Structure 1
Amino acid sequence: MNAEFERPEGAAADWTIAQDWASYTAQDHAMWDRLFERQAKMLPGRAVPEFLNGLDVLRMTKPGIPDFRELSERLMALTGWQVVAVPGLVPDRVFFEHLANRRFVAGRFIRRPDQIDYLEEPDVFHDVFGHVPLLSNPAFADYMQAYGQGGLRADGLGAIDRLARLYWYTVEFGLIRRDGALRLYGAGIVSSHGESIFALDDPSPNRLGFDLVRLMRTRYRIDDFQQSYFVIDSFDDLLRATAETDFAPLYRALEDQADLEPGDVLAEDRIFTLGTQRHARAKI
Protein backbone atom coordinates (compact mmCIF):
# COMPACT_ATOMS: atom_id res chain seq x y z
CA MET A 1 0.00 0.00 0.00
CA ASN A 2 1.09 3.57 -0.47
CA ALA A 3 1.41 6.60 1.77
CA GLU A 4 -0.56 9.77 1.15
CA PHE A 5 1.03 12.22 -1.27
CA GLU A 6 0.09 15.12 -3.50
CA ARG A 7 -1.99 14.49 -6.59
CA PRO A 8 0.04 15.24 -9.75
CA GLU A 9 -0.97 18.09 -12.01
CA GLY A 10 -3.30 16.91 -14.75
CA ALA A 11 -4.72 13.97 -12.82
CA ALA A 12 -8.46 13.89 -12.13
CA ALA A 13 -9.87 13.93 -8.61
CA ASP A 14 -9.73 10.13 -8.57
CA TRP A 15 -6.09 10.30 -9.77
CA THR A 16 -6.87 8.89 -13.22
CA ILE A 17 -5.26 10.20 -16.38
CA ALA A 18 -5.66 9.43 -20.07
CA GLN A 19 -3.58 6.48 -21.19
CA ASP A 20 -2.75 8.38 -24.40
CA TRP A 21 -2.04 5.14 -26.23
CA ALA A 22 -1.04 6.98 -29.42
CA SER A 23 1.95 8.52 -27.63
CA TYR A 24 3.72 5.19 -27.15
CA THR A 25 6.79 4.89 -29.35
CA ALA A 26 7.89 1.92 -31.41
CA GLN A 27 10.52 1.34 -28.72
CA ASP A 28 7.84 1.26 -26.04
CA HIS A 29 5.85 -1.37 -27.90
CA ALA A 30 9.03 -3.32 -28.62
CA MET A 31 9.83 -3.43 -24.90
CA TRP A 32 6.33 -4.77 -24.14
CA ASP A 33 6.71 -7.41 -26.86
CA ARG A 34 10.13 -8.42 -25.56
CA LEU A 35 8.81 -8.85 -22.02
CA PHE A 36 5.62 -10.57 -23.18
CA GLU A 37 7.46 -13.08 -25.38
CA ARG A 38 9.86 -14.00 -22.59
CA GLN A 39 7.08 -14.65 -20.09
CA ALA A 40 4.72 -16.31 -22.57
CA LYS A 41 7.38 -18.91 -23.37
CA MET A 42 7.95 -19.95 -19.77
CA LEU A 43 4.53 -19.64 -18.07
CA PRO A 44 2.62 -22.56 -19.66
CA GLY A 45 2.78 -25.37 -17.12
CA ARG A 46 3.88 -22.90 -14.44
CA ALA A 47 1.10 -20.31 -14.25
CA VAL A 48 -2.43 -21.28 -13.26
CA PRO A 49 -4.56 -21.99 -16.39
CA GLU A 50 -6.97 -19.16 -15.52
CA PHE A 51 -4.16 -16.67 -16.02
CA LEU A 52 -3.21 -18.06 -19.42
CA ASN A 53 -6.87 -18.17 -20.43
CA GLY A 54 -7.18 -14.51 -19.44
CA LEU A 55 -4.38 -13.56 -21.81
CA ASP A 56 -6.28 -15.30 -24.59
CA VAL A 57 -9.86 -14.13 -23.98
CA LEU A 58 -8.73 -10.53 -23.43
CA ARG A 59 -6.70 -10.72 -26.67
CA MET A 60 -3.56 -9.64 -24.87
CA THR A 61 -1.49 -11.92 -27.08
CA LYS A 62 -1.50 -9.46 -29.96
CA PRO A 63 1.65 -7.31 -30.29
CA GLY A 64 2.12 -3.99 -28.53
CA ILE A 65 1.01 -2.34 -25.32
CA PRO A 66 -2.74 -2.90 -24.91
CA ASP A 67 -5.13 -0.01 -25.37
CA PHE A 68 -6.92 0.30 -22.02
CA ARG A 69 -10.22 1.24 -23.68
CA GLU A 70 -10.28 -1.92 -25.80
CA LEU A 71 -9.07 -4.03 -22.89
CA SER A 72 -11.76 -2.60 -20.61
CA GLU A 73 -14.51 -3.36 -23.12
CA ARG A 74 -13.57 -7.04 -23.15
CA LEU A 75 -13.07 -7.18 -19.40
CA MET A 76 -16.34 -5.38 -18.68
CA ALA A 77 -18.22 -7.94 -20.76
CA LEU A 78 -16.69 -10.79 -18.74
CA THR A 79 -16.62 -9.60 -15.12
CA GLY A 80 -17.61 -5.93 -15.02
CA TRP A 81 -14.06 -4.66 -14.45
CA GLN A 82 -12.17 -1.94 -16.30
CA VAL A 83 -8.58 -0.72 -16.43
CA VAL A 84 -7.84 2.96 -15.75
CA ALA A 85 -4.54 4.76 -16.14
CA VAL A 86 -2.87 6.59 -13.25
CA PRO A 87 0.37 8.62 -13.19
CA GLY A 88 2.07 6.24 -10.76
CA LEU A 89 1.48 5.07 -7.21
CA VAL A 90 -1.74 6.40 -5.70
CA PRO A 91 -2.83 6.97 -2.08
CA ASP A 92 -4.26 3.98 -0.24
CA ARG A 93 -7.84 5.21 -0.09
CA VAL A 94 -7.89 6.07 -3.79
CA PHE A 95 -6.56 2.60 -4.59
CA PHE A 96 -9.20 0.91 -2.43
CA GLU A 97 -12.03 3.02 -3.87
CA HIS A 98 -11.09 2.02 -7.41
CA LEU A 99 -10.93 -1.68 -6.52
CA ALA A 100 -14.22 -1.50 -4.62
CA ASN A 101 -15.81 -0.15 -7.80
CA ARG A 102 -14.18 -2.78 -10.04
CA ARG A 103 -11.59 -0.47 -11.54
CA PHE A 104 -7.98 -1.60 -11.70
CA VAL A 105 -5.44 1.23 -11.68
CA ALA A 106 -2.44 0.80 -13.96
CA GLY A 107 0.61 2.90 -14.60
CA ARG A 108 0.92 3.93 -18.24
CA PHE A 109 4.73 4.11 -18.52
CA ILE A 110 6.92 1.16 -19.52
CA ARG A 111 10.36 0.34 -18.20
CA ARG A 112 13.62 1.17 -19.96
CA PRO A 113 15.90 -1.56 -21.37
CA ASP A 114 18.24 -1.22 -18.37
CA GLN A 115 15.27 -1.96 -16.07
CA ILE A 116 14.12 -5.11 -17.82
CA ASP A 117 14.57 -7.35 -14.79
CA TYR A 118 13.79 -4.94 -11.96
CA LEU A 119 12.25 -1.55 -11.36
CA GLU A 120 11.08 -0.04 -8.10
CA GLU A 121 7.75 1.37 -9.27
CA PRO A 122 5.37 -0.96 -11.17
CA ASP A 123 5.01 -0.17 -14.87
CA VAL A 124 2.35 -1.01 -17.44
CA PHE A 125 3.80 -4.48 -17.99
CA HIS A 126 3.60 -5.44 -14.34
CA ASP A 127 0.19 -3.86 -13.88
CA VAL A 128 -1.49 -5.06 -17.07
CA PHE A 129 0.28 -8.32 -17.95
CA GLY A 130 0.62 -9.32 -14.30
CA HIS A 131 -2.75 -8.34 -12.88
CA VAL A 132 -5.38 -7.99 -15.58
CA PRO A 133 -5.66 -11.55 -17.01
CA LEU A 134 -7.01 -12.96 -13.72
CA LEU A 135 -9.63 -10.22 -13.55
CA SER A 136 -11.39 -12.21 -16.29
CA ASN A 137 -11.96 -14.99 -13.73
CA PRO A 138 -15.22 -14.38 -11.79
CA ALA A 139 -14.01 -15.63 -8.39
CA PHE A 140 -10.74 -13.70 -8.51
CA ALA A 141 -12.52 -10.60 -9.82
CA ASP A 142 -14.90 -10.77 -6.85
CA TYR A 143 -11.96 -11.24 -4.47
CA MET A 144 -10.30 -8.09 -5.77
CA GLN A 145 -13.49 -6.07 -5.28
CA ALA A 146 -13.92 -7.50 -1.77
CA TYR A 147 -10.33 -6.55 -1.02
CA GLY A 148 -11.01 -2.96 -2.06
CA GLN A 149 -14.10 -2.83 0.12
CA GLY A 150 -12.11 -4.29 3.00
CA GLY A 151 -9.40 -1.72 2.43
CA LEU A 152 -11.86 1.13 2.89
CA ARG A 153 -12.89 -0.38 6.22
CA ALA A 154 -9.27 -1.01 7.25
CA ASP A 155 -8.46 2.62 6.50
CA GLY A 156 -10.96 3.67 9.15
CA LEU A 157 -9.58 1.17 11.64
CA GLY A 158 -5.92 2.05 11.22
CA ALA A 159 -5.17 -1.45 9.96
CA ILE A 160 -3.94 -0.90 6.40
CA ASP A 161 -0.51 -2.36 7.15
CA ARG A 162 -2.10 -5.66 8.19
CA LEU A 163 -4.33 -5.80 5.14
CA ALA A 164 -1.41 -4.92 2.88
CA ARG A 165 0.16 -8.25 3.80
CA LEU A 166 -2.88 -10.07 2.46
CA TYR A 167 -2.55 -8.30 -0.89
CA TRP A 168 1.18 -8.94 -1.01
CA TYR A 169 1.02 -12.65 -0.30
CA THR A 170 -1.98 -13.33 -2.53
CA VAL A 171 -2.48 -10.82 -5.36
CA GLU A 172 1.22 -10.09 -5.82
CA PHE A 173 3.06 -13.23 -4.74
CA GLY A 174 0.52 -16.00 -4.35
CA LEU A 175 0.82 -19.66 -5.31
CA ILE A 176 -2.07 -22.06 -5.90
CA ARG A 177 -2.30 -25.85 -5.72
CA ARG A 178 -3.69 -27.42 -8.88
CA ASP A 179 -3.79 -31.12 -9.82
CA GLY A 180 -1.23 -32.03 -7.18
CA ALA A 181 1.29 -29.37 -8.22
CA LEU A 182 1.97 -25.76 -7.31
CA ARG A 183 1.24 -23.06 -9.87
CA LEU A 184 1.84 -19.30 -10.05
CA TYR A 185 -0.89 -16.68 -9.94
CA GLY A 186 0.56 -13.62 -8.16
CA ALA A 187 1.20 -10.68 -10.48
CA GLY A 188 4.61 -9.96 -9.02
CA ILE A 189 5.70 -13.48 -9.93
CA VAL A 190 4.12 -13.99 -13.36
CA SER A 191 5.48 -10.63 -14.59
CA SER A 192 9.02 -11.44 -13.37
CA HIS A 193 11.23 -13.83 -15.31
CA GLY A 194 13.50 -14.53 -12.35
CA GLU A 195 10.80 -14.99 -9.75
CA SER A 196 8.72 -17.18 -12.06
CA ILE A 197 11.56 -19.68 -11.75
CA PHE A 198 12.53 -19.01 -8.14
CA ALA A 199 9.03 -19.29 -6.68
CA LEU A 200 8.48 -22.84 -7.96
CA ASP A 201 11.92 -24.36 -8.47
CA ASP A 202 14.39 -22.90 -5.99
CA PRO A 203 14.92 -24.78 -2.69
CA SER A 204 15.38 -21.49 -0.84
CA PRO A 205 11.85 -20.25 -0.03
CA ASN A 206 9.23 -21.75 2.23
CA ARG A 207 5.97 -22.71 0.56
CA LEU A 208 3.25 -22.74 3.20
CA GLY A 209 -0.49 -23.34 3.26
CA PHE A 210 -2.64 -20.20 3.28
CA ASP A 211 -3.85 -19.16 6.71
CA LEU A 212 -5.35 -15.69 7.01
CA VAL A 213 -4.21 -14.84 10.53
CA ARG A 214 -0.75 -16.29 10.08
CA LEU A 215 -0.29 -14.44 6.79
CA MET A 216 -1.35 -11.09 8.29
CA ARG A 217 1.28 -11.48 11.00
CA THR A 218 4.05 -11.99 8.44
CA ARG A 219 6.37 -9.26 7.20
CA TYR A 220 7.46 -9.32 3.56
CA ARG A 221 10.40 -8.40 1.32
CA ILE A 222 10.00 -5.54 -1.14
CA ASP A 223 13.56 -5.58 -2.46
CA ASP A 224 14.19 -9.22 -3.36
CA PHE A 225 12.59 -12.59 -4.01
CA GLN A 226 10.23 -13.71 -1.26
CA GLN A 227 11.42 -15.88 1.62
CA SER A 228 7.98 -17.48 1.99
CA TYR A 229 5.09 -18.03 -0.40
CA PHE A 230 1.56 -18.91 0.70
CA VAL A 231 -0.42 -21.52 -1.21
CA ILE A 232 -4.19 -21.35 -1.72
CA ASP A 233 -6.34 -24.30 -2.80
CA SER A 234 -8.62 -22.33 -5.13
CA PHE A 235 -9.79 -18.81 -5.90
CA ASP A 236 -13.19 -19.74 -4.48
CA ASP A 237 -11.54 -20.71 -1.19
CA LEU A 238 -9.59 -17.45 -1.14
CA LEU A 239 -12.77 -15.46 -1.72
CA ARG A 240 -14.65 -17.31 1.03
CA ALA A 241 -11.79 -17.00 3.51
CA THR A 242 -11.83 -13.24 3.19
CA ALA A 243 -15.43 -12.35 2.29
CA GLU A 244 -16.85 -14.35 5.20
CA THR A 245 -14.41 -12.95 7.79
CA ASP A 246 -15.18 -10.06 10.13
CA PHE A 247 -11.84 -8.28 10.01
CA ALA A 248 -12.45 -5.77 12.82
CA PRO A 249 -12.03 -8.28 15.70
CA LEU A 250 -9.22 -9.92 13.74
CA TYR A 251 -7.30 -6.65 13.65
CA ARG A 252 -7.81 -6.22 17.40
CA ALA A 253 -6.57 -9.74 18.09
CA LEU A 254 -3.50 -9.19 15.93
CA GLU A 255 -2.49 -6.20 18.06
CA ASP A 256 -1.54 -8.66 20.81
CA GLN A 257 0.48 -10.96 18.54
CA ALA A 258 4.09 -10.42 17.54
CA ASP A 259 4.97 -10.00 13.88
CA LEU A 260 6.66 -12.90 12.14
CA GLU A 261 9.74 -12.50 9.97
CA PRO A 262 9.45 -13.42 6.27
CA GLY A 263 11.35 -16.70 6.64
CA ASP A 264 9.77 -17.93 9.89
CA VAL A 265 8.10 -21.34 10.00
CA LEU A 266 5.70 -22.31 12.80
CA ALA A 267 4.97 -25.76 14.18
CA GLU A 268 1.36 -25.45 13.07
CA ASP A 269 2.15 -24.38 9.50
CA ARG A 270 1.03 -26.57 6.62
CA ILE A 271 4.35 -27.01 4.86
CA PHE A 272 4.66 -27.77 1.17
CA THR A 273 8.36 -26.89 1.11
CA LEU A 274 10.62 -26.14 4.06
CA GLY A 275 13.04 -23.73 2.43
CA THR A 276 16.77 -23.60 2.99
CA GLN A 277 16.69 -19.76 3.02
CA ARG A 278 20.03 -19.91 1.24
CA HIS A 279 19.14 -17.04 -1.11
CA ALA A 280 18.19 -14.71 1.74
CA ARG A 281 21.19 -15.63 3.86
CA ALA A 282 23.54 -14.92 0.97
CA LYS A 283 22.33 -11.31 0.98
CA ILE A 284 23.12 -10.70 4.65
Structure 2
Amino acid sequence: MAMEPVIYGTSERPPRGDYSRAGADYTCAQDYAGYGQEDHQSYRRLYARQQALLPGRASDEFLRALPSLGASDRIPRFEEINDRLWRATRWEIVGVPGLIPEVPFFSLLAQRRFPVTDWIRTPQEFDYIVEPDVFHDLFGHVPLLFNPVYADHMQAYGLGGLKAHRCGACEMLSRLYWYTIEFGLMRQPDGMRAYGAGILSSPGELRYAVESSEPRRLPFDIERVMRTRYKIDSFQQIYFVIESVEELFEKTAADFTPIYERLRRLPEFSPDGSPLRTAAAAS
Protein backbone atom coordinates (compact mmCIF):
# COMPACT_ATOMS: atom_id res chain seq x y z
CA MET A 1 0.00 0.00 0.00
CA ALA A 2 1.38 3.40 -0.99
CA MET A 3 2.17 5.77 1.87
CA GLU A 4 0.34 9.09 1.95
CA PRO A 5 2.19 12.44 1.97
CA VAL A 6 1.95 14.88 4.83
CA ILE A 7 0.51 18.37 4.30
CA TYR A 8 2.84 21.08 5.62
CA GLY A 9 1.25 24.44 6.21
CA THR A 10 -0.90 25.80 3.41
CA SER A 11 -0.05 25.54 -0.25
CA GLU A 12 -1.95 25.45 -3.51
CA ARG A 13 0.09 22.54 -4.77
CA PRO A 14 0.23 19.07 -3.15
CA PRO A 15 3.39 18.01 -1.34
CA ARG A 16 5.99 16.65 -3.73
CA GLY A 17 7.81 13.37 -3.42
CA ASP A 18 7.08 9.88 -4.72
CA TYR A 19 5.52 8.18 -1.73
CA SER A 20 5.03 4.96 -3.70
CA ARG A 21 8.75 4.39 -3.11
CA ALA A 22 8.34 4.39 0.67
CA GLY A 23 8.19 1.32 2.87
CA ALA A 24 5.95 0.83 5.88
CA ASP A 25 8.25 3.02 7.98
CA TYR A 26 8.22 5.73 5.25
CA THR A 27 11.90 5.26 4.43
CA CYS A 28 13.21 4.73 0.92
CA ALA A 29 16.54 4.34 -0.84
CA GLN A 30 18.23 7.54 -1.96
CA ASP A 31 17.58 7.85 -5.69
CA TYR A 32 21.09 9.02 -6.43
CA ALA A 33 20.94 8.17 -10.11
CA GLY A 34 17.90 10.45 -10.39
CA TYR A 35 19.96 13.58 -9.63
CA GLY A 36 20.98 15.58 -12.70
CA GLN A 37 23.82 18.03 -13.13
CA GLU A 38 21.43 20.89 -12.35
CA ASP A 39 20.59 19.24 -9.02
CA HIS A 40 24.25 18.91 -8.03
CA GLN A 41 24.88 22.47 -9.12
CA SER A 42 22.01 23.71 -6.94
CA TYR A 43 23.42 21.85 -3.94
CA ARG A 44 26.91 23.26 -4.60
CA ARG A 45 25.58 26.82 -4.86
CA LEU A 46 23.38 26.47 -1.76
CA TYR A 47 26.26 25.03 0.28
CA ALA A 48 28.70 27.73 -0.80
CA ARG A 49 26.25 30.53 -0.02
CA GLN A 50 25.44 29.26 3.46
CA GLN A 51 28.99 28.34 4.35
CA ALA A 52 30.10 31.90 3.60
CA LEU A 53 27.52 33.24 6.06
CA LEU A 54 28.37 30.94 8.98
CA PRO A 55 31.37 32.67 10.62
CA GLY A 56 30.20 34.80 13.52
CA ARG A 57 26.64 33.50 13.16
CA ALA A 58 26.68 29.70 13.57
CA SER A 59 27.41 27.96 16.87
CA ASP A 60 30.88 26.59 17.49
CA GLU A 61 29.45 23.06 17.74
CA PHE A 62 27.97 23.36 14.27
CA LEU A 63 31.13 24.83 12.76
CA ARG A 64 33.23 22.01 14.21
CA ALA A 65 30.84 19.36 12.91
CA LEU A 66 30.15 20.70 9.41
CA PRO A 67 33.28 19.19 7.75
CA SER A 68 32.01 15.74 8.77
CA LEU A 69 29.15 16.19 6.33
CA GLY A 70 31.60 15.58 3.50
CA ALA A 71 31.14 16.60 -0.12
CA SER A 72 30.11 20.20 -0.76
CA ASP A 73 30.44 20.21 -4.55
CA ARG A 74 27.69 17.64 -5.11
CA ILE A 75 24.80 16.02 -3.28
CA PRO A 76 26.47 13.53 -0.91
CA ARG A 77 25.62 9.86 -0.95
CA PHE A 78 23.83 8.95 2.26
CA GLU A 79 25.93 5.83 2.76
CA GLU A 80 29.12 7.92 2.70
CA ILE A 81 27.79 10.14 5.49
CA ASN A 82 26.62 7.10 7.44
CA ASP A 83 30.11 5.59 7.46
CA ARG A 84 31.31 8.60 9.45
CA LEU A 85 28.14 9.27 11.43
CA TRP A 86 27.81 5.73 12.76
CA ARG A 87 31.39 5.76 13.99
CA ALA A 88 30.87 9.14 15.67
CA THR A 89 27.53 8.76 17.48
CA ARG A 90 25.87 5.51 16.33
CA TRP A 91 23.35 7.44 14.24
CA GLU A 92 22.46 6.99 10.58
CA ILE A 93 20.46 8.96 8.05
CA VAL A 94 17.71 7.34 6.01
CA GLY A 95 15.98 8.57 2.89
CA VAL A 96 12.33 9.61 2.88
CA PRO A 97 10.23 10.90 -0.04
CA GLY A 98 9.14 14.02 1.84
CA LEU A 99 7.44 14.97 5.08
CA ILE A 100 6.24 11.97 7.08
CA PRO A 101 3.63 11.55 9.85
CA GLU A 102 4.43 12.08 13.51
CA VAL A 103 4.64 8.48 14.74
CA PRO A 104 6.98 7.23 11.99
CA PHE A 105 9.09 10.37 12.46
CA PHE A 106 9.35 9.92 16.23
CA SER A 107 10.02 6.21 15.81
CA LEU A 108 12.95 6.82 13.50
CA LEU A 109 14.52 9.34 15.88
CA ALA A 110 14.05 6.94 18.79
CA GLN A 111 16.02 4.37 16.78
CA ARG A 112 18.79 6.95 16.08
CA ARG A 113 17.80 7.19 12.43
CA PHE A 114 17.33 10.68 10.98
CA PRO A 115 14.95 11.01 7.99
CA VAL A 116 16.38 13.04 5.09
CA THR A 117 14.26 14.08 2.12
CA ASP A 118 16.10 12.86 -0.97
CA TRP A 119 14.89 15.40 -3.55
CA ILE A 120 16.29 18.91 -4.02
CA ARG A 121 14.52 22.19 -4.76
CA THR A 122 14.27 23.59 -8.26
CA PRO A 123 16.42 26.57 -9.33
CA GLN A 124 13.27 28.72 -9.14
CA GLU A 125 13.06 27.89 -5.41
CA PHE A 126 16.70 28.65 -4.72
CA ASP A 127 15.93 31.41 -2.22
CA TYR A 128 12.83 29.96 -0.56
CA ILE A 129 11.12 26.59 -0.33
CA VAL A 130 8.12 25.62 1.80
CA GLU A 131 9.02 21.99 2.41
CA PRO A 132 12.40 20.77 3.62
CA ASP A 133 14.56 19.30 0.87
CA VAL A 134 17.83 17.37 0.85
CA PHE A 135 19.90 20.54 1.31
CA HIS A 136 17.92 21.72 4.34
CA ASP A 137 18.00 18.29 5.97
CA LEU A 138 21.67 17.56 5.29
CA PHE A 139 23.22 20.98 5.82
CA GLY A 140 20.88 22.15 8.58
CA HIS A 141 20.30 19.02 10.66
CA VAL A 142 22.93 16.38 10.10
CA PRO A 143 26.18 18.10 11.21
CA LEU A 144 25.07 18.38 14.84
CA LEU A 145 24.25 14.66 14.87
CA PHE A 146 28.03 14.23 14.98
CA ASN A 147 27.95 15.92 18.42
CA PRO A 148 27.39 13.17 21.05
CA VAL A 149 25.31 15.30 23.41
CA TYR A 150 23.09 16.67 20.66
CA ALA A 151 22.75 13.20 19.16
CA ASP A 152 21.48 11.86 22.49
CA HIS A 153 19.08 14.80 22.72
CA MET A 154 17.59 13.92 19.34
CA GLN A 155 16.98 10.33 20.36
CA ALA A 156 15.38 11.50 23.61
CA TYR A 157 13.13 13.80 21.59
CA GLY A 158 11.98 10.85 19.48
CA LEU A 159 11.19 8.76 22.55
CA GLY A 160 9.37 11.74 24.08
CA GLY A 161 7.43 12.21 20.85
CA LEU A 162 6.03 8.69 21.03
CA LYS A 163 4.88 9.39 24.58
CA ALA A 164 3.43 12.77 23.54
CA HIS A 165 1.41 11.01 20.84
CA ARG A 166 -0.10 8.70 23.43
CA CYS A 167 -0.89 11.74 25.61
CA GLY A 168 -2.44 13.74 22.78
CA ALA A 169 0.23 16.40 23.21
CA CYS A 170 2.05 16.36 19.87
CA GLU A 171 1.25 20.01 19.18
CA MET A 172 3.05 21.09 22.36
CA LEU A 173 6.05 18.94 21.55
CA SER A 174 6.15 20.19 17.96
CA ARG A 175 6.67 23.68 19.34
CA LEU A 176 9.69 22.46 21.25
CA TYR A 177 11.10 21.04 18.01
CA TRP A 178 10.35 24.25 16.15
CA TYR A 179 11.94 26.62 18.64
CA THR A 180 15.03 24.46 19.30
CA ILE A 181 15.95 21.97 16.59
CA GLU A 182 14.67 24.20 13.77
CA PHE A 183 14.97 27.76 15.09
CA GLY A 184 17.10 27.64 18.22
CA LEU A 185 19.72 30.20 19.24
CA MET A 186 22.66 29.75 21.58
CA ARG A 187 24.44 32.40 23.62
CA GLN A 188 28.19 31.89 23.46
CA PRO A 189 30.81 33.93 25.32
CA ASP A 190 31.54 35.72 22.03
CA GLY A 191 27.91 36.45 21.19
CA MET A 192 24.62 35.10 19.90
CA ARG A 193 24.84 32.13 17.53
CA ALA A 194 22.42 29.86 15.67
CA TYR A 195 22.16 26.10 16.02
CA GLY A 196 18.66 25.50 14.60
CA ALA A 197 18.52 23.95 11.13
CA GLY A 198 15.85 26.32 9.84
CA ILE A 199 18.10 29.28 10.61
CA LEU A 200 21.37 27.72 9.46
CA SER A 201 19.97 26.74 6.06
CA SER A 202 18.36 30.16 5.37
CA PRO A 203 20.54 33.11 4.29
CA GLY A 204 17.99 35.72 5.29
CA GLU A 205 16.96 34.27 8.63
CA LEU A 206 20.54 33.51 9.65
CA ARG A 207 21.40 37.20 9.51
CA TYR A 208 18.05 38.25 10.96
CA ALA A 209 17.99 35.80 13.89
CA VAL A 210 21.52 36.56 15.05
CA GLU A 211 21.95 40.25 14.23
CA SER A 212 18.60 42.05 13.91
CA SER A 213 17.14 44.06 16.76
CA GLU A 214 13.58 43.21 15.66
CA PRO A 215 12.88 39.76 17.11
CA ARG A 216 12.52 39.01 20.80
CA ARG A 217 15.09 36.61 22.23
CA LEU A 218 13.89 34.89 25.39
CA PRO A 219 15.72 32.60 27.82
CA PHE A 220 14.89 28.97 27.12
CA ASP A 221 11.93 27.83 29.20
CA ILE A 222 10.18 24.59 28.25
CA GLU A 223 6.72 25.62 29.40
CA ARG A 224 6.88 28.98 27.63
CA VAL A 225 8.11 27.26 24.46
CA MET A 226 5.28 24.72 24.54
CA ARG A 227 2.73 27.49 24.97
CA THR A 228 4.01 29.55 22.02
CA ARG A 229 2.56 29.10 18.57
CA TYR A 230 4.69 29.56 15.45
CA LYS A 231 4.42 30.51 11.79
CA ILE A 232 6.05 28.63 8.94
CA ASP A 233 5.96 31.27 6.23
CA SER A 234 7.90 34.17 7.74
CA PHE A 235 10.90 34.93 9.91
CA GLN A 236 10.28 34.16 13.56
CA GLN A 237 9.27 36.98 15.86
CA ILE A 238 10.50 35.12 18.93
CA TYR A 239 13.59 32.98 19.46
CA PHE A 240 14.46 30.99 22.58
CA VAL A 241 18.09 31.02 23.67
CA ILE A 242 20.07 28.21 25.28
CA GLU A 243 23.55 28.49 26.78
CA SER A 244 24.86 25.12 25.55
CA VAL A 245 23.79 21.82 23.98
CA GLU A 246 24.26 20.30 27.43
CA GLU A 247 21.56 22.62 28.78
CA LEU A 248 19.24 21.62 25.96
CA PHE A 249 19.73 17.93 26.68
CA GLU A 250 19.35 18.28 30.44
CA LYS A 251 16.21 20.43 30.29
CA THR A 252 14.44 18.24 27.72
CA ALA A 253 15.30 14.84 29.20
CA ALA A 254 12.48 14.90 31.78
CA ASP A 255 9.05 13.28 31.55
CA PHE A 256 6.79 15.98 30.12
CA THR A 257 3.51 14.28 31.05
CA PRO A 258 2.85 16.49 34.13
CA ILE A 259 3.76 19.56 32.07
CA TYR A 260 1.29 18.65 29.33
CA GLU A 261 -1.52 18.30 31.86
CA ARG A 262 -0.74 21.64 33.47
CA LEU A 263 -0.38 23.51 30.19
CA ARG A 264 -3.75 22.33 28.87
CA ARG A 265 -5.33 24.67 31.45
CA LEU A 266 -3.16 27.69 30.65
CA PRO A 267 -3.44 30.28 27.87
CA GLU A 268 -1.07 30.15 24.94
CA PHE A 269 1.04 32.82 23.28
CA SER A 270 0.78 33.98 19.69
CA PRO A 271 3.85 33.81 17.39
CA ASP A 272 4.63 37.44 18.24
CA GLY A 273 4.65 36.65 21.96
CA SER A 274 1.37 38.30 22.90
CA PRO A 275 -0.74 36.23 25.30
CA LEU A 276 -4.02 34.74 24.19
CA ARG A 277 -6.60 35.52 26.80
CA THR A 278 -7.75 32.07 27.86
CA ALA A 279 -6.78 28.46 27.39
CA ALA A 280 -10.05 27.93 25.52
CA ALA A 281 -9.26 30.79 23.15
CA ALA A 282 -5.97 29.11 22.26
CA SER A 283 -7.51 25.81 21.28
TM-score past 0.5 threshold: yes
Residue in 2 that maps onto 1:269: none
Distance 2:109 2:152 in 1: 10
| Letter matched to residue 17 of structure 1 | C
2:135 is the counterpart of 1:125: yes
Alignment equivalent of 2:31, drawn from 16, 20, 37: 20
Residue in 2 that maps onto 1:75: 85
Alignment equivalent of 2:265, drawn from 256, 260, 273: 256
Superposed CA deviations along residues 87-111 of structure 1, whole A, max 9, x for unmatched, are: 1110100000000001000111111
Distance 1:203 1:112 in 2: 32
Shift of 1:3: 6.8
| Contact 2:90 2:112 (C-alpha < 8 Å) held by counterparts | yes
Q: Which runs of 5+ in 2 are unaligned?
A: 1-5, 9-14, 276-283
Shift of 1:39: 0.5
Distance 2:68 2:39 in 1: 24
| Letter matched to residue 127 of structure 1 | D
Distance 1:147 1:200 in 2: 25
| Contact 1:84 1:103 (C-alpha < 8 Å) held by counterparts | yes
Q: How does 1:173-212 map to 2 (within 5 A)?
A: 173-212=183-222
Residue in 2 that maps onto 1:247: 256
Shift of 1:72: 0.9
Q: Which runs of 5+ in 1 are unaligned?
A: 267-284
| Contact 2:21 2:97 (C-alpha < 8 Å) held by counterparts | no
Shift of 1:204: 1.2
Residue in 2 that maps onto 1:160: 170
Shift of 1:180: 4.2
Shift of 1:59: 2.1
| Contact 1:84 1:104 (C-alpha < 8 Å) held by counterparts | yes
Distance 2:57 2:219 in 1: 18
Distance 2:165 2:74 in 1: 37
| Contact 1:205 1:227 (C-alpha < 8 Å) held by counterparts | yes
Shift of 1:23: 2.1
| Letter matched to residue 67 of structure 1 | R
Q: How does 1:48-67 map to 2 (within 5 A)?
A: 48-60=59-71, 62-67=72-77
Alignment equivalent of 1:40, drawn from 14, 34, 51: 51
Q: Secondary structure at the match of 1:9?
A: helix
Measured at CA, do residues 20 and 8 of structure 1 come closer, stay the same or move farther in structure 2, by a change above 3 Å?
Answer: closer
Distance 2:101 2:222 in 1: 25
2:245 is the counterpart of 1:235: yes
Superposed CA deviations along residues 214-255 of structure 1, whole A, max 9, x for unmatched, are: 111001111100000000011111101011x22111100001
Moved over 6 A (4+): none
Aligned residue pair count: 262
Distance 1:75 1:263 in 2: 37
| Contact 1:126 1:191 (C-alpha < 8 Å) held by counterparts | yes
Distance 2:7 2:133 in 1: 18
| Contact 1:221 1:227 (C-alpha < 8 Å) held by counterparts | no
Superposed CA deviations along residues 20-41 of structure 1, whole A, max 9, x for unmatched, are: 2122111100000000000111
| Letter matched to residue 223 of structure 2 | V
Normalised to the residue count of structure 2, the TM-score between the two structures is 0.89
- CA-based RMSD: 1.7
Normalised to the residue count of structure 1, the TM-score between the two structures is 0.89
Residue in 2 that maps onto 1:110: 120
| Letter matched to residue 258 of structure 2 | P
| Contact 1:210 1:230 (C-alpha < 8 Å) held by counterparts | yes
| Letter matched to residue 161 of structure 1 | E
